[in-house]
Amino acid sequence: MLDFEYYNPTRIIFGRESIAKIHSLLENYGENIMLLYGGGSIKKNGIFDKVMEQLRDKNVIEMGGIEPNPTIETIRRYIQKCREEKVEFILGVGGGSVMDSAKMIGAGAVYDGDVWDFFKNHDQLPEAMLPVATVVTLAGTGSEANQNFVVTNPDTCEKIGKNGGPACFPEFAVCDPQLTFTVNAYQTASGAFDTIAHVFEHYFAEADQYMPVQDGMQEAVIRAVITELPRAIKEPDNYEARANLMWAAQQALFGIADMGKGHGERVEHKMEHILSARYNCAHGAGLAVVVPPFRKHMCRLNPAKYRQFAENVFHIDCTGLSDYEAGMKGITALEDFIKSVGLPASLREIGAESESDVDFLAEELVRQGRVTKGTGIGLKELKEMYASVY
Amino acid sequence: MLDFEYYNPTRIIFGRESIAKIHSLLENYGENIMLLYGGGSIKKNGIFDKVMEQLRDKNVIEMGGIEPNPTIETIRRYIQKCREEKVEFILGVGGGSVMDSAKMIGAGAVYDGDVWDFFKNHDQLPEAMLPVATVVTLAGTGSEANQNFVVTNPDTCEKIGKNGGPACFPEFAVCDPQLTFTVNAYQTASGAFDTIAHVFEHYFAEADQYMPVQDGMQEAVIRAVITELPRAIKEPDNYEARANLMWAAQQALFGIADMGKGHGERVEHKMEHILSARYNCAHGAGLAVVVPPFRKHMCRLNPAKYRQFAENVFHIDCTGLSDYEAGMKGITALEDFIKSVGLPASLREIGAESESDVDFLAEELVRQGRVTKGTGIGLKELKEMYASVY
Which of A97-101, A245-249, B119-123 has the lowest average pLDDT? B119-123
**Which residues in A have their CB inside 8 Å of a CB on B?**
1-9, 11-16, 18, 209-217, 219-221, 223-224, 227-228, 239-240, 243-244, 247-248, 251, 254, 256-257, 259-260
A174 shares a domain with A192: no
- pLDDT of residue A388 exceeding 70, the answer is yes
B187 shares a domain with B175: no
A295 shares a domain with A269: yes
Number of domains chain A contains: 2
A342 shares a domain with A278: yes
Q: Hey, are the CB atoms on A251 and B256 less than 8 Å from each other?
A: yes
Q: Hey, are the CB atoms on B240 and A209 less than 8 Å from each other?
A: yes
Give the domain extent around A341: 186-388
pLDDT in tens, B257-314: 989 987 776 788 889 988 988 898 888 999 999 999 999 999 998 899 999 999 999 9
- C-alpha–C-alpha distance, residues A181 and A177, integer Å: 7
- Please give the residue of chain B at the shortest CA–CA distance from A209: B240
pLDDT tier at A95 (50, 70, 90 boundaries)? very high
Q: Which helix (H) or strand (E) holds A54?
A: helix A47-54
Alpha-carbon gap: A70 to the closest alpha carbon of chain B (Å): 29
pLDDT at A371: 74
A58 shares a domain with A194: no
Would you say A350 and A288 are in contact if contact means Cβ atoms under 8 Å apart? no
pLDDT at B32: 98
Range A32-58 average pLDDT? 96
- Please give the residue of chain A at the shortest CA–CA distance from B209: A240
How far is C-alpha A314 from the chain's CA centre? 23
Radius of gyration of chain A (CA): 20
A224 shares a domain with A174: no
pLDDT tier at A156 (50, 70, 90 boundaries)? confident
Nearest by CB to residue A212, choosing from B14, B212, B244, is: B244
- pLDDT of residue A370 exceeding 80, the answer is no
- C-alpha–C-alpha distance, residues A198 and B315, integer Å: 28
Nearest by CB to residue A16, choosing from B3, B5, B257, is: B3
Give the C-alpha distances (Å, rounded to integers) separating B284 from A332, B109, B169, B289, B304: 44, 29, 23, 9, 26
pLDDT at A321: 98
- Asked which of B148, B179, B210 is the last residue of a domain, the reply is B179
The CATH number covering residue B278 comes to 1.20.1090.10
**What's the ipTM?**
0.94
A163 shares a domain with A43: yes
pLDDT at B52: 98
Q: Exposed, middle or buried, B3 (CB in 10 Å: 0-12/13-18/19+)?
A: middle
- Higher pLDDT: A186 or B372? It is A186
Q: B45-54 b/e with 16+ CB inside 10 Å = b?
A: eebbebbeeb
A310 shares a domain with A353: yes
pLDDT at A155: 83
pLDDT at B326: 98
- Asked which of B156, B179, B202 is the last residue of a domain, the reply is B179
Low-confidence ranges of chain B (pLDDT < 70): 265, 372-375
Give the C-alpha distances (Å, rounded to integers) separating B150 from A30, B124, B158, B165: 39, 15, 10, 14
Please check whether residue B4 lies inside any domain of the structure: no
B97 shares a domain with B117: yes
pLDDT at B371: 74
Paired with A174 in beta bridges are A13, A135
pLDDT at A373: 64
pLDDT at B205: 85
Please check whether residue B5 lies inside any domain of the structure: no
Please check whether residue A59 lies inside any domain of the structure: yes
A238 shares a domain with A111: no
A198 shares a domain with A70: no
pLDDT in tens, B311-351: 999 999 999 999 999 999 999 999 999 999 999 999 999 99
The CATH number covering residue B112 comes to 3.40.50.1970
Nearest by CB to residue B15, choosing from A4, A15, A251, is: A4
The values of phi and psi at residue B184, to 5°, are -70, 170
Please check whether residue B1 lies inside any domain of the structure: no
B379 shares a domain with B265: yes
Range A288-308 average pLDDT? 95
Would you say A13 and A172 are in contact if contact means Cβ atoms under 8 Å apart? yes
pLDDT at B260: 92
Paired with A186 in beta bridges are none
- Asked which of A161, A179, A197 is the last residue of a domain, the reply is A179
Residues in CB range of A166: below 8 A, 6 or more apart: A7, A125, A147
Q: Which helix (H) or strand (E) holds B93?
A: strand B89-94
Please check whether residue A144 lies inside any domain of the structure: yes
Q: Which amino acid is at A36?
A: L
